[in-house]
């Protein structure tokens, strides 16, 4: 039998004054390593369920977080930890979504855990006698809560750090129940270094004489050990650059506490503040649950993620050295290898692992793009582009029209240098194409996310090296080959991954270019080549003749291919030409066919 107290938050008070709610499961709850006779979960909710009960967003908090994600508790001056992200008109829009955040099983913010009174003997605290629990146990407890709330499926599960690991476990454990997953600064399993840091923290607690093997009363626990554990962990949440900017070698203003440097005073404050709100046994159990989390296992990450059906976005931060960008990429790479819908964005923030808690415009835009779609910035840019149709747009349309004509319905298309995803969006909407875009620019990649286009913000060569042979019907280079190092190798790698390759490029030997160079004797500068040589980026300018000689020379390589269709546009990029294309063509589009 299930009980709960459902405290309703009226619309005019929502995200101003919010209240904690409790869900009580008064029947046995099985864990992977034991059983609880009952289970209580503390949670908050914002917004309202729609009639279909399908607009739920589940938030999963980090290691030392809690369920107070937004709004204010009565008498509080500080709002919930993601208040800047959650609310009417914000990226997690409570006018659209029913948002639920629960204190995870095993935590100490109101849910059943080591600091709770035992259901079997209310005169005792569980302490270290609380069963070892796992990330999987956490999300099963959340599922029980959502079942009570009569949620039919989750529109999106979102979490950073430990919350991101919960989000990963959700899409593995309940693939039919979750439409989207936003995994932020997470990992598929802890590295040896991270386990080592956690173990030092645990030893700090266990070495405090007041720990007493976990048998301590409230207010007289191992405060020094817990504070030191927090201080050390907090360092891993920051970055060297962030700490240097914030503290450097500055001296503290207040010298009464014998701190020589400001950073010492800061860490001391973080440790003492943490002791006032967290439990030592809980910290030990939670960090053990994190260390044991492992989606790689003996069978590999690809196998663990093989049944995932959710649309996934993984966000990493450049300065995060706890759960590094490479660890986050591993999740996406595994999903792409097995044909799943997974995108990757990397934000250049200096705040380290805790960057996902910072009120950052780039981060807010990525979340909004994933959950809602095109942002106001995208729509404004679209209106501006519609009103100023440039020669560049004409050239892109020439590319798009030819490629659209070549690509068959229901194909799999890899667009290298996809820009803002306009081509893949069009092919998806008109031909039911599954597309993956690759672009290194965050703004462009975020626009892809807003269009619902799967994208990887990554180096083209790295993405290609991760993909299996013949995993795409088409690989597209739209004016991208010129910008690559060793483009010949990249083209051959694209032919390994794709059955056909479409390549468009500006013909450098176009007659006007020859004439201008002959007349002036200096590097050509125009709309296509706008920069002087001393400030230009890497550009491999080549001609139609260069390209055909490359294809002729490379046919003896391991990957055999032939030139299929080819289209040449004149200098206006509208009219086509067939006679003397190396002289008369401004733009060339080639189809390469793997034998």
Task: Count CA atoms within 13 Å of residue 40 on its CB side.
Answer: 18
Give the integer Cα–Cα distance in Å for 247 and 262. Answer: 6
Cα separation, 573 vs 588, whole angstroms? 9
φ, ψ of residue 337 to 5 degrees: the values are -60, -35
Question: Both tokens of residue 13?
Answer: 């008070």
Q: DSSP per residue over 506-546, as a string? A: E-TT-HHHHHHHHHH-S---SSSS-S-TTT--------HHH
Instruction: From the options 3.30.450.70, 3.40.50.150, 3.50.50.60, 3.30.420.40, give the CATH code of 384-594.
Output: 3.40.50.150
Q: Which long-range contacts (CB under 8 A, 24 or more apart) does 573-577 make?
A: 573/391, 573/394, 573/395, 573/398, 574/394, 574/398
CB 314 within 8 A of CB 335: no
Give the pLDDT of residue 558: 75
**CA gyration radius, the chain:** 28
Q: Are 497 and 462 in contact (CB under 8 A)?
A: no
Alpha helix positions (H), 223-375: 223-237, 240-246, 262-275, 280-292, 301-304, 325-337, 361-371
Q: How many angstroms separate the Cα of 128 from the Cα of each of 28, 112, 206, 216?
A: 20, 13, 11, 10
List C-alpha distances in Å: 260 to 95, 200, 232, 244, 250. 50, 25, 18, 16, 9
What is the structure's pLDDT at 397? Answer: 74
Q: Is the dihedral of CA 330, 333, 338, 344 positive or negative?
A: positive
3-state secondary structure of 296: coil
Which class is domain 196-288?
Answer: mainly alpha
CA separation for the pair 522, 532 (Å, rounded): 10
CB 430 within 8 A of CB 317: no
Cα separation, 412 vs 90, in Å, equals: 34
Structure tokens at 581: 């294309």
The per-residue pLDDT string of the chain (595 residues; one tens digit each, 9 = 90 and over) reads: 333 333 333 343 458 889 999 999 999 999 999 999 999 999 999 999 999 999 999 999 999 999 999 999 988 889 999 999 999 999 999 999 999 999 999 999 999 999 999 988 888 999 999 999 999 999 999 999 999 999 999 999 999 999 999 999 999 999 999 999 999 999 999 999 999 999 999 999 999 999 999 999 888 999 999 999 999 999 999 999 999 998 988 877 666 678 889 999 999 999 999 999 999 999 999 999 999 999 999 999 999 999 999 999 999 999 999 999 999 999 999 999 999 999 999 999 999 999 999 999 999 999 999 999 976 666 666 555 544 445 545 556 778 899 999 999 999 999 999 999 999 999 999 999 999 999 999 999 999 999 999 999 999 999 999 999 999 999 999 888 888 989 999 999 999 999 999 999 999 999 988 888 888 888 777 776 777 777 777 777 899 999 999 998 886 567 889 999 999 999 887 889 999 999 999 999 999 999 8
Among this protein's residues, is 161 annotated catalytic? yes
Residue appearing with tokens 């967003």: 57
| Tokens of residue 422, six digits | 């306009």
**H or E segment at 311?**
strand 311-317
Q: How would you classify the pairing of strands 21-25 and 2-5?
A: antiparallel
Angle at 570 between CA 518 and CA 399, to 5 degrees: 125
- Cα(341)–Cα(150) distance, integer angstroms: 27
Length of the chain equals 595
Within 8 A by CB and 6+ apart from 56, the residues are: 49, 97, 98, 99, 100, 146, 149, 151, 153, 154, 155
For the chain, the farthest-separated pair of C-alpha atoms sits apart, in whole angstroms, at 95
Query: Which residue, among 118, 141, 95, has the nearest Cα to 2 in the 3D structure?
Result: 141
Question: What are the angstrom distances between the C-alpha of 340 and each of 68, 171, 337, 436, 450?
Answer: 33, 12, 8, 10, 18
Structure tokens at 100: 């639920």
Exactly one of 320, 354, 399, 415 is catalytic; name it: 320
Nearest in space to 415 (alpha carbons), one of 391, 439, 394: 439
Q: Is 320 a catalytic residue?
A: yes
The residues near 258 (Cβ < 8 Å, ≥ 6 apart) are: none
Gap between the Cα atoms of 357 and 367, Å rounded: 13
Q: Which burial class, exposed, middle or buried, applies to 589 when counting CB atoms under 10 A from its CB (0-12, 13-18, 19+)?
A: buried
To the nearest 10 degrees (0 to 180), the angle between helices 135-148 and 280-292 is 100
Q: What is the pLDDT of residue 439?
A: 96
Cα 20 from chain centroid (whole Å): 29
Looking at residue 555, what is its pLDDT? Answer: 66
- Tell me, which fold does domain 2-191+294-371 have in CATH? Rossmann fold (3.40.50)
Retrieve residue 405's tokens: 């004509």
Residues 424 and 413 sit within 8 Å (Cβ to Cβ) = yes
Element (H, E) at 344: strand 342-347
Is residue 257 annotated as a catalytic residue, yes or no?
A: no
Same fold, 2-191+294-371 and 384-594: yes
Query: Which residue out of 102, 111, 161, 543 is catalytically annotated?
Result: 161
Domain ranges of the chain: 2-191+294-371, 196-288, 384-594
């Amino acid at each position: 039998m299930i009980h709960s107290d459902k405290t309703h938050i009226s619309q005019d008070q929502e995200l101003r004054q919010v209240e904690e709610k409790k869900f009580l499961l008064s029947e046995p709850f099985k864990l992977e390593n034991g059983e609880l006779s009952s289970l209580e979960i503390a949670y908050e909710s914002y917004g309202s369920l729609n009639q279909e009960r399908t607009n739920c967003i589940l938030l999963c908090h980090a290691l030392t977080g809690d369920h107070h994600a937004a709004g204010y508790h009565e008498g509080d001056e500080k709002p919930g930890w993601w208040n800047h992200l959650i609310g009417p008109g914000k990226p997690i829009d409570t006018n659209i979504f029913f948002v639920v955040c629960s204190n995870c099983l095993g935590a100490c913010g109101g849910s059943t855990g080591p600091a709770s009174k035992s259901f079997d003997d209310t005169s005792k605290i569980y302490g270290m006698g609380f069963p070892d629990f796992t990330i999987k146990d956490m999300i099963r407890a959340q599922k029980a809560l959502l079942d009570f709330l009569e949620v039919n499926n989750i529109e999106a599960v979102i979490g950073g750090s430990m919350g991101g690991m919960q989000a990963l476990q959700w899409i593995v454990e309940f693939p039919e129940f979750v439409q989207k997953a936003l995994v932020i600064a997470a990992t598929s399993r802890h590295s040896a270094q991270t386990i080592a840091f956690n173990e030092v923290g645990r030893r700090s607690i266990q070495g405090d004489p007041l720990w007493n093997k976990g048998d301590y009363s409230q207010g007289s626990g191992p405060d020094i050990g817990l504070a030191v554990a927090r201080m050390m962990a907090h360092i891993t949440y920051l970055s060297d650059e962030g700490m240097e900017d914030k503290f450097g070698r500055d001296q503290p203003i207040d010298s009464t506490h014998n701190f020589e440097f400001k950073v010492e005073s800061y860490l001391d404050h973080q440790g003492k503040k943490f002791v006032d709100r967290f439990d030592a046994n809980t910290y030990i159990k939670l960090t053990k649950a994190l260390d044991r989390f492992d989606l790689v296992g003996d069978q590999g990450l690809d196998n663990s993620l093989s049944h995932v059906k959710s649309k996934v976005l993984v966000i990493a931060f450049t300065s995060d050295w706890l759960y590094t960008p490479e660890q986050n990429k591993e999740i996406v790479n595994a999903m792409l290898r097995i044909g799943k819908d997974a995108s990757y964005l990397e934000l250049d923030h200096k705040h380290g692992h805790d960057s996902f808690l910072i009120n950052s415009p780039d981060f807010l835009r990525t979340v909004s793009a994933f959950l809602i779609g095109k942002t106001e910035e995208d729509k404004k840019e679209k209106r501006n582009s519609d009103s100023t149709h440039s020669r560049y747009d004409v050239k892109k349309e020439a590319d798009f029209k030819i490629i659209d004509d070549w690509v068959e319905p229901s194909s799999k298309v890899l667009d290298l240098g996809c820009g803002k995803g306009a081509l893949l969006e069009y092919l998806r909407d008109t031909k039911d194409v599954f597309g993956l875009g690759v672009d290194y620019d965050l703004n462009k990649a975020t626009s892809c996310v807003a269009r619902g286009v799967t994208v990887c913000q990554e180096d083209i060569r790295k993405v290609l090296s991760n993909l299996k042979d013949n995993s795409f019907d088409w690989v597209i280079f739209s004016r991208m080959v010129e910008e690559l190092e060793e483009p010949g190798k990249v083209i051959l790698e694209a032919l390994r991954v794709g059955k056909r390759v479409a390549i468009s490029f500006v013909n450098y030997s176009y007659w006007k270019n020859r004439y201008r160079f002959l007349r002036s004797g200096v590097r050509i500068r125009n709309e296509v080549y706008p920069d002087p040589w001393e400030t230009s980026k890497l550009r491999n300018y080549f001609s139609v003749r260069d390209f055909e000689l490359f294809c002729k020379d490379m046919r003896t390589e391991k990957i055999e291919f032939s030139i299929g269709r080819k289209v040449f546009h004149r200098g206006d990029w509208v009219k086509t030409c067939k006679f003397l294309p190396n002289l008369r063509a401004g733009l060339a589009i080639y189809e390469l066919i793997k034998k």
